[in-house]
Structure 1
Amino acid sequence: MFTRETFKSIALAGMIALGFVAQGKNAHAADLQTLTVAGGCFWCVEADFEKVKGVKEAVSGFTGGTVANPTYKQVTSGGTGHYEAVQITFDADVVSRRTLLDLFFRSVDPTDAGGQFCDRGESYRTAIFTNTLAEKQAAQAAKTKATADLGQKVVTPILDAAEFYPADAYHQDYYKGRQLVITRFGPKRQASAYKAYREACGRDARVKQLWGTDAPFVNS
């Protein structure tokens, strides 16, 4: 027979268990933050940063311009002021903003003001977008280090964050997509088309030439 004391003991044990569960949830709550960068083709930037431990998501899109809800064709045709950009959501308890910024500089050609690799024009330029003074200072510190390590002028601007517009579903996770597409290399699945494009564009070759063994994503 259950006595009042037994019920009290069960209730107390339950409260303690619930307390541990709540504590565990708080202990493992991710400190999710965002970093928005432009590094040329957003397929490549997304593919690179989704490999980084602590990155939860990388979304391809457009930012920095004056046209609301732009289309891919509008942006790449020029005149919108938008960059092809990627918004990275990361757990700051696992990977720091500064680490991601250092990786970013070493995944692009930050000396090129006219675009990136085979992609030319304003929408393919590099940039870092910041919301706060602390974010701007982190970006500036990473830029200063990149300049010192390269021994060349880094032209990547640090800009105030603007509205970010995700690209349509076709462009998300393109690097691992299975949809059949027609390319200059013939019909290919998206993942194969992406690899062919990246190699033909010379992205990894140029990054390796600039950064050598410090290039984190070459042929990854």
Structure 2
Amino acid sequence: MWNLVDCEKIFIPVHVEKNSCGHYYLYIIHTKNQEVEIWDSLCDQFMDETERNQTTENLLLAVDNLFGNVMFTKFGRRMASNILLQPNGYDCGIFVINYMQQSDHYVTQNTLFQFDSDKERLDLALKLLKSNLNNEKESLYDEAARSYAKAHSEEDLDLCGTKRKGVEDVGRRGTYMELDDSDNTVKRKNVRLKTGICFNLNYIYPF
């Protein structure tokens, strides 16, 4: 069906469910040396060997039918070793994506690498946003720029000719903020919190 002469690897992400929970892991089929690698960031914690073997057999049968001229079910199979494992129960998808990107941090264990779920998810969102394949990229940039400009415009109006006071909640103590308009100097003093006073500004910055 398709010509596999120039193909070296086939990446197949798989989602399995068990006891109302789901998990992603990855198959990498090496067409040149006829080997199937299983990359699982939970190793064997989610499914046992029998379940995985049956899933693998069903997958390779489907690939056999898809390509027609290669017997993938005859390929050798092994679990990938010396790869980073997820430190929680919900980042399997992030790990599968990074496995496919073949990042050094994910291919080989690195004791100095510290996985940060929020950072990894943000990095992925930024890659998707900045991709040349993202048809909405320019409109999203424009929307972010408008939000940024609006936030700063509202801030300028708030500061013009006024003194602004706020309390930042830091437990039982707070910080009193006073803006001196003559020299734009912010003075801070520790004060007791007052009921009903809240000071919070959120800004949206463009990427």
Flag whether TM exceeds 0.5 (same fold): no
The structure richer in helix per residue is 1
Q: TM-score range by the shorter chain?
A: under 0.3
Greater relative contact order (Cα < 8 A, sep 6+):
1
Specify the structure having the higher radius of gyration (Cα): 2
Q: What TM-score, normalized to structure 1?
A: 0.26
Q: What TM-score, normalized to structure 2?
A: 0.27
